[in-house]
Structure 1
Amino acid sequence: MIRFSLHCAQGHDFDSWFASGTAFDDLKLRGLVACAICGDTSVEKALMAPAVAHKAQAAPGALSTPASPMEEAMAALRREVEANSEYVGMNFVTEARRIHAGNAPERAIHGEAKADEARKLIEDGVPVAPLPFMPSRKAN
């Protein structure tokens, strides 16, 4: 994975992770890279310095402190979701359908779904929303 600093034509700066530089280029060509703030698809890589961790900063398993108000908001959202919903992993689609149909107890859940599966849930009227972070169980 690689993190790029990005800049949209509207003047917004933001970061995003990609599988590789080639993956970014491919997604951008297909119009699938959009500004995290305004949704503009005129996005370019911003000039960035390489991230070189100092040995004292690179403790194994240590998470970095949020560098911006946006990162702090994302961290707060993650804490809220994880504290107030049940992680159902790859069973998310099945469990969301069961809850929607009344075949499972009504409760907040989060988990993992492929994009086409999530789109189908929405088309079928099942209320779902993507989360802007990986589940804790997958983050390491």
Structure 2
Amino acid sequence: MILFDLKCENNHVFEAWFKDSEAFKKQSERGIVTCPSCNSSAVTKALMAPNVSLANSEKKRASTSDLAKAQKLLSEAQKVVEDNFDYVGKDFAKEARKIHYGESDKKNIYGEATEKDSKRLKEEGIAFNQIPWKPKADA
């Protein structure tokens, strides 16, 4: 069993248990995963940090590397997005609308949006998430 942090289109965050990622995907596609606050079925997985228990002496040492761990998690999340989503660049808001309104096939996308575009997408009820993005290092 896996405990996922979930987030609905209204930004309510909650937890739910699933057999595995595939079980979440299937239940979500069937619309049976719903937000306990607003009953929305537009639910996605939220970014999660692993739950690791440390002894007291290790906690002090670990706190000095918290930033490095956070940066590593962000890099891993970014890689997952880059490997599994289509990059649409500055057309993110436009493409998200097309998908939301059925003008384009449903697919995972990522790109760039201004604060104004993000606010409008939220007002229209279009579900999306924002994550900090690290620029690629020059090769």
For normalisation by structure 1, the TM-score amounts to 0.48
Q: Which has the higher contact order (CA 8 A, sep 6+)?
A: 2
TM-score by length of 2: 0.48
Q: Which has the higher helix share?
A: 2
